[in-house]
Homo-oligomer: A and B are copies of this chain.
Amino acid sequence: MAVNPERLRERREAAAPDLALTGPGTPMGRFLRRFWTPVCRAADLAAGHARPIRIMSENYTLYRGAGGAPHLVDYRCPHRGAQMHLGWVEGDAIRCVYHGWKFDGTGQCLEQPAEEPGFARKVRMRSYPAREHLGLIFGYFGDGDPPAFPPYPAPERDGLVENPVPPVIPCNYLQCFENSLDEVHVSFVHRQGGSHQGMYDLPDISAEETVWGMIRFGDRDGKRRVSLHYMPNCTRVIVPPMAGFDGAGGWRELYLNFVPIDDETSQWFIAYHVGVTGAAVAPYLEKRELYWQKLAAAGPAQDLARAVMAGRLAFADIRHPDLVRVQDVAVQAGQGAIADRDNERLGRSDTAIILWRRIVARELAALEAGRPLKRWLPAPPEVVPTLGF
């Protein structure tokens, strides 16, 4: 197993297992908290409702005021620790179910029905900025002011934006994100089922750091596929319709956010842009409805992925309308709850992964040393992913 010492050194530098750990106080956790993070589909939070969320190993309460504005506050009431989402939304405020303490969207306590007057104004919980973009609610969990919003541009072309149910994936977010940086996997993982026609030739991979993140190229016979990676965890890429979609809507643009729930679980918050307009919309929606019915009937792709990982099922045995999802989850979660990056053998096809790790490692080193970090700029809307063929 002789390895070129130069490459070995580069790999050691590239390997950064700490990038996987995002709990409070971890270097990567501190870094990710400096960006807007998707936390929920906008459609999953009706006005006047509250729900618990878990992001990077910390719990929060997300609620939407009567007027429609989303708010993010602490998970527990400061009184005796009841979960705030059990309570009621009243106007733009939320009231704890346990003893009726009421808080506004900034976390200030407004009422304590059974306590002495004057106690309420001394009590405050933390609140966190919350905004919406492309059908997703984003939160900001860092110190100081959040960066510019939105975190990445919307598509400029006409069409539909869709947000599928955000799947919970039984592994660390990083192996999911790194899979999205890895075009070569398509030629093998997704060959069965034939979803990615035209992409089974192996591309030459290259990548470049940009002012907003990283751009990645896959070159095949002079044709170039372009994918975007917005800092710190969103991949924008062209993908084929799901296996069960019968081609409706054609290849679409995917914004894929890989969000840590905790170190061993992640959630994918997704926005699709499907370029159908005018008369094409109605038949597309009909197809989509049928596909969704098939999908609901087929059960979660993650369950099948787990059976494959355990050896109880083989890919070849699976009929599922989102076979690509089954394949992706099995391969990524199959790397382990947190992939072992100390024993990798990276090669030239891993170029984009190596560059991304190097960028982040540089930023983490600056953060640790108290040096200024790179000031990421908003991405120009005209830089878009392309299929290249």
Asked whether any CB of chain B lies closer than 8 Å to the CB of A86, the reply is yes
Asked whether any CB of chain B lies closer than 8 Å to the CB of A345, the reply is yes
B310 contacts A86, C-beta separation under 8 Å: no
Cα-based distance from A60 to B124 in the complex (angstroms): 47
Cα-based distance from A102 to B247 in the complex (angstroms): 32
Pick the interface stretch among A154-162, A184-192, A232-240, A254-262.
A184-192
Cα-based distance from A169 to B80 in the complex (angstroms): 18
Which B residues touch A51, using CB under 8 A? 311
A99 contacts B343, C-beta separation under 8 Å: no
B98 contacts A331, C-beta separation under 8 Å: yes
Asked whether any CB of chain B lies closer than 8 Å to the CB of A47, the reply is no
CB-based nearest B residue for A53: B311
**Counting chain B CB atoms within 10 Å of each CB, which of A80, A330, A339 scores highest?**
A80
User: Which of B80, B116, B188, B315 is A344 in contact with, Cβ under 8 Å?
Assistant: B80
Write the nearest CB–CB distance from A356 to chain B, whole angstroms: 14
User: Which of B76, B100, B345 is A123 in contact with, Cβ under 8 Å?
Assistant: B345
Write the nearest CB–CB distance from A313 to chain B, whole angstroms: 11
Pick the interface stretch among A24-32, A107-115, A367-375.
A107-115
Write the nearest CB–CB distance from A11 to chain B, whole angstroms: 12
Q: Known contacts A99-B184, A184-B99; decide if A315 and B81 are in contact (CB<8 Å).
A: no
Q: Known contacts A2-B122, A311-B51, A314-B49; decide if A78 and B335 are in contact (CB<8 Å).
A: no
A interface SS class = loop
Cα-based distance from A330 to B112 in the complex (angstroms): 21
A331 contacts B114, C-beta separation under 8 Å: no
Which B residues touch A113, using CB under 8 A? 187, 202
Which B residues touch A124, using CB under 8 A? 1
Write the nearest CB–CB distance from A17 to chain B, whole angstroms: 12
Asked whether any CB of chain B lies closer than 8 Å to the CB of A346, the reply is yes
- Tell me the number of copies of this protein: 3
B334 contacts A83, C-beta separation under 8 Å: yes
B115 contacts A348, C-beta separation under 8 Å: yes
Which B residues touch A76, using CB under 8 A? 335, 340
Which B residues touch A336, using CB under 8 A? 81
User: Which of B114, B188, B347, B350 is A348 in contact with, Cβ under 8 Å?
Assistant: B114
Write the nearest CB–CB distance from A6 to chain B, whole angstroms: 14
User: Which of B80, B123, B331, B349 is A86 in contact with, Cβ under 8 Å?
Assistant: B331
Q: Contacts A79-B346, A113-B187 given; 4 further ones with Cβ under 8 A?
A: A1-B122, A78-B343, A98-B188, A115-B347
> Could you tell me which A residues sit within 8 Å of B by CB distance?
1-3, 49, 51-52, 76, 78-83, 85-86, 96-100, 112-116, 119, 122-124, 184-185, 187-189, 202, 308-311, 314-315, 330-331, 334-336, 339-340, 343-350
The list of the 4 closest CB pairs from A to B, nearest first, reads A114-B349, A115-B347, A83-B334, A51-B311
List, sorted by A's number, 30 A–B pairs whose CB atoms are closer than 8 Å.
A2-B122, A3-B122, A52-B310, A78-B343, A78-B344, A78-B345, A79-B344, A79-B346, A79-B347, A81-B339, A81-B344, A83-B309, A83-B334, A86-B330, A97-B188, A97-B189, A97-B315, A98-B331, A99-B184, A99-B188, A100-B188, A112-B347, A113-B187, A113-B202, A114-B347, A114-B348, A114-B349, A115-B347, A119-B347, A123-B345
